[in-house]
Amino acid sequence: MSVSLRVLDDGAWVSVNDSRQVSVSELWRLDAPEFCSCTVPDFVVENFQSVGVDGRTITANVYGQCIQCGETGVPGWIPVGRLKNGEYVDLDRENVVLPAHDGHEN
């Protein structure tokens, strides 16, 4: 099962199988102890740098900012959705805590 993943319009959104799935301007709560000193960084998504897949999880490398402390940067790979029978299923990104992981390239 091949899936087409890309970042488009200068980092505005993530496309999965030619359909816009994740957009900048969302506010995520992260489990990202290395990113800033906040217990649960409150992270505004400003720009998608790249998108990848880890097993059946779609992950994105994003630039943004923690609105509690102001730290900016790329906190690592963040899960944004899952593949289920080849179909993309959104995570409830704005209501769960998303774990950041170090790089996996693909």
Partner 1 sequence: MPTDVERWKSEVYGNEIREHLFEFAEEGWDSIPEDERDAWFERFKWWGLYHQRSGQESYFMLRIGTPNGRLDPGQLRVVGEVAKEYATGPGTNPIFGDAYADITTRQAIQLHWIKLEDVPDLFEKLEANGLTAQQACGDSWRNIVGNPMAGNDAEEIIDAWPVIKELNETFKGDDDHSNLPRKWKVSVAGSADGSGQGDINDLALEPAYKEIDGERTVGFNVRVGGGLARNEPRHARDIDVWVAPEDAAAVSGGLSALFRDHGDRENRYNARIKFLVDEWGTEKVREVLQEDYVDFELETAGEDVRDQYTYNAGGDGRNDLVGIHKQKDGKNFVGLNVLVGRMGADDVLELADLAEKYGSGAARLTQRQNIIIPDVPDEELDEFLSEDLLDHYSPDPSPFMRGSVACTGTEFCSLSIVETKNRQVRFARWLKENVELPEGIDQFHIHLSGCTASCAQPQIADVSLRGMKTRKNGDPVEALDIGLGGGLGEEPQFARWVTQRVPVDEVPGAIKNLLASFEELREGDETFRDFIQRHDDDELADLVEPEETSYEDPMMHNTKRTWYPYAEEDSLDAGPAPTHADGTPITSDD
Smaller CB separation from ligand HEM, 8 or 97: 8
Contact predicate 12/20, CB 8 Å: no
From 22, 36, 60, 78, residue interacting with Zn ion (rule: CB under 5 A): 36
Which parts of 9-28 interact with Zn ion (CB under 5 A)?
Answer: none
Q: How far apart are CA 21 and CA 90, in angstroms?
A: 8
Q: Which residues are 42's β-sheet partners?
A: 29
Sequence-separated (6 or more) residues with CB below 8 Å from residue 52: 5, 58, 59, 60, 61, 77, 104, 105, 106
Binding mask 34-63 for ligand HEM (x = CB under 6 A): ------------------------------
Q: Which residues bind partner 1 (CB under 8 A)?
A: 4, 6, 8-13, 15, 17-20, 23-25, 27, 42, 44, 46-47, 49, 65, 67, 70
Contact predicate 62/74, CB 8 Å: yes
- Contact flag: residue 10 with ligand HEM (CB under 6 A): yes
Binding site for ligand HEM (CB under 6 A): 9-10
